[in-house]
Amino acid sequence: MPGNLTFDALKEAVDRGEIDTVLVASVDMQGRLMGKRFHAAFFVNGGWKETHCCNYLLAVDMEMNTVPGYKSAGWEKGYGDYVMKPDLATLRPLPWLPGTALCLADLLDHHTQEEVAVSPRAILKRQVARARAMGFDPMMATELEFYIFENAYEQLRDDGFGNLRPISAYNEDYHIFQTTKEESLMRDVRNHLYKAGIPIENTKGEADSGQHEVNYRYSDALDTADNHVIVKQGVKEIAHLKGKSVTFMAKYDHRKAGSSSHVHQSLWTLDGKPAFYDHDDPHGMSATMKHFLAGQLAHAQEITAFLAPYVNSYKRFCIGLFAPTKAVWSADNRTAGFRICGEHTKAVRVECRIPGSDVNPYLCCAALLAAGLAGIEQKLELEPEMKGDMYNTAGIREIPRTLRDAADRLLASDMLRKAFGDEVVDHYHHAAQWEISETDRVVTDFELQRLLERA
């Protein structure tokens, strides 16, 4: 069970007065938890069966604007309801919120009771089912990097986001002393999330001032995506409760390192054997792994819009800051978009370094899986390994440099249309177009500073 609280145990905790609130939350297009806070007594006495939400939750932008032009929902359709169907297997306590448990919910069509096609959790479930039908359990891990600021979100907003004070004054990559200074926050992050059923491995300082990383153990792809959104929510909330704030923006300052969400991936047979491992191969990579990786390389540019969903995401892809610029593969090489880890071991895996920490993990894992499975289906041959500094190697496959480029490639992707369906591809292409048009329209601080006086 992905959560760590059975329904019976919840009922007992409610009877004992230990839990009085159950959050029921679905995941939106941006990867946020959206839902309602239930009185626990109502939830256990029948509220667990289903609740409802406005169907605009899968048709708004970050600001909750009602974006025109979606086929799934709009004013012309009256913005009706989706069913929120709690997935009781995801039940867990949230120890940082007194008396509170969380249950994730799937989004169903009100009339057909089918999962909504454009729902991120449904999109990932379908790719996992496809992998299982091919005889594989997809195992994934998403790392999460973020910056911690001394001041609370409210203070940042009051200051017009002009007074961001990272919690440390220097690059704290692997630093024990600096991260000791941050333990009052990060110890709670590890322990609270662990008690919420997240298999925390470790936290560590990262490669700029105030930057951190949290790692949780790999699991099946759906469980990992669930863990990812709960970790993100937990880190934000625990920081908030301590008067601090964090950001998962891919690039909050062009002078600083971006925040990544590298995705580690391996396939296992349904009886639990590592399908990526071949003892006799020079890297320990099986034919299945090579086809999978070949598929991800062949389709890397088409899936990038799901790995880097905002205009800002592309500002992370710059030379010399450990974010990749090239969609090529290399063993244990952090300049490549696809790095092979755990060579010659049963843990041999593909680490895709393209996603930033602003990613929606369901869409990202689903797109990576779709590309990899297409490679296996077509038995694509793996191109030769690249070696050395990919940043300064010309003429090799680039990661799209802008969301505009990535969105065009998404729209034209036959592979994704086949894997996700036209409805899903068109929906998320529309989301990308909206992000682009909103960013094009707005005058930025940069333009003011550069042009106001001198233009």
Sign of CA dihedral 278, 280, 285, 290: negative
**Do the beta carbons of residue 150 and residue 167 sit within 8 Å?**
yes
Position among 264, 315, 316, 326 found at the interface with ligand ADP (CB under 6 A): 264
Q: Can you tell me whether residue 176 is helix, strand or coil?
A: helix
Strand partners, 85: 106
Window of 168-176, 260-268, 292-300, 309-317 that interacts with ligand ADP by CB under 6 A: 260-268
Q: Kindly state the number of chain residues that form the binding site for ligand ADP, as judged by CB under 6 A.
A: 13
Judged by CB, which is closer to ligand ADP: 28, or 206? 206
Position among 146, 218, 317, 420 found at the interface with ligand ADP (CB under 6 A): 218
Position among 349, 353, 409, 427 found at the interface with ligand ADP (CB under 6 A): 349
Q: Give residues with Cβ within 8 angstroms of 402, minimum separation 6.
A: 311, 314
Question: Closest distance between ligand ADP and the C-beta of residue 379, in Å?
Answer: 22
Judged by CB, which is closer to ligand ADP: 245, or 259? 259
Judged by CB, which is closer to ligand ADP: 217, or 379? 217
CA-to-CA dists, residue 243 to 59, 151, 286, angstroms: 32, 6, 49
Position among 18, 201, 237, 405 found at the interface with ligand ADP (CB under 6 A): 201
Is 266 a binding residue for ligand ADP by CB under 6 A? The answer is yes
Is 53 a binding residue for ligand ADP by CB under 6 A? The answer is no
- How would DSSP label each residue in 400-419? PSSHHHHHHHHHT-HHHHHH
**Do the beta carbons of residue 106 and residue 195 sit within 8 Å?**
no
Is 331 a binding residue for ligand ADP by CB under 6 A? The answer is no
**Do the beta carbons of residue 304 and residue 354 sit within 8 Å?**
yes
Question: Closest distance between ligand ADP and the C-beta of residue 140, in Å?
Answer: 6
Judged by CB, which is closer to ligand ADP: 201, or 423? 201
CA separation for the pair 111, 107 (Å, rounded): 12
Residue from 376, 175, 378 nearest 293 by CA: 376
Is 215 a binding residue for ligand ADP by CB under 6 A? The answer is yes
Question: Closest distance between ligand ADP and the C-beta of residue 347, in Å?
Answer: 4
Judged by CB, which is closer to ligand ADP: 311, or 341? 341
Q: State in Å, rounded, how far the first CA of the chain is from the last one.
A: 61
Question: Closest distance between ligand ADP and the C-beta of residue 205, in Å?
Answer: 13
Is 141 a binding residue for ligand ADP by CB under 6 A? The answer is yes
Judged by CB, which is closer to ligand ADP: 29, or 367? 367
Position among 155, 347, 398, 423 found at the interface with ligand ADP (CB under 6 A): 347
Is 139 a binding residue for ligand ADP by CB under 6 A? The answer is yes
Judged by CB, which is closer to ligand ADP: 116, or 352? 352
Strand partners, 39: 21
Question: Closest distance between ligand ADP and the C-beta of residue 368, in Å?
Answer: 12
Is 217 a binding residue for ligand ADP by CB under 6 A? The answer is yes
Judged by CB, which is closer to ligand ADP: 77, or 217? 217
CB atoms within 10 A of CB 78: 8
Going residue by residue from 415 to 444, which x/- string records binding to ligand ADP, judged by CB under 6 A? ------------------------------
Where are the alpha helices (H) located in 299-413, listed in sequence order? 300-307, 361-377, 403-411
Q: Give residues with Cβ within 8 angstroms of 229, minimum separation 6.
A: 27, 31, 32, 33, 361
Window of 65-73, 263-271, 295-303, 404-412 that interacts with ligand ADP by CB under 6 A: 263-271
Where are the alpha helices (H) located in 64-175, listed in sequence order? 120-133, 153-158
- How would DSSP label each residue in 38-91? EEHHHIIIIITS-EEEEGGGGSB-TT--B-TT-SS--GGGT--EEEEEE-GGG-
Is 313 a binding residue for ligand ADP by CB under 6 A? The answer is no
Judged by CB, which is closer to ligand ADP: 73, or 144? 144
CA separation for the pair 27, 119 (Å, rounded): 8
Sign of CA dihedral 98, 164, 210, 257: positive
Judged by CB, which is closer to ligand ADP: 57, or 144? 144
Site for ligand ADP, rule CB under 6 A: 139-141, 201, 215, 217-218, 264-266, 341, 347, 349
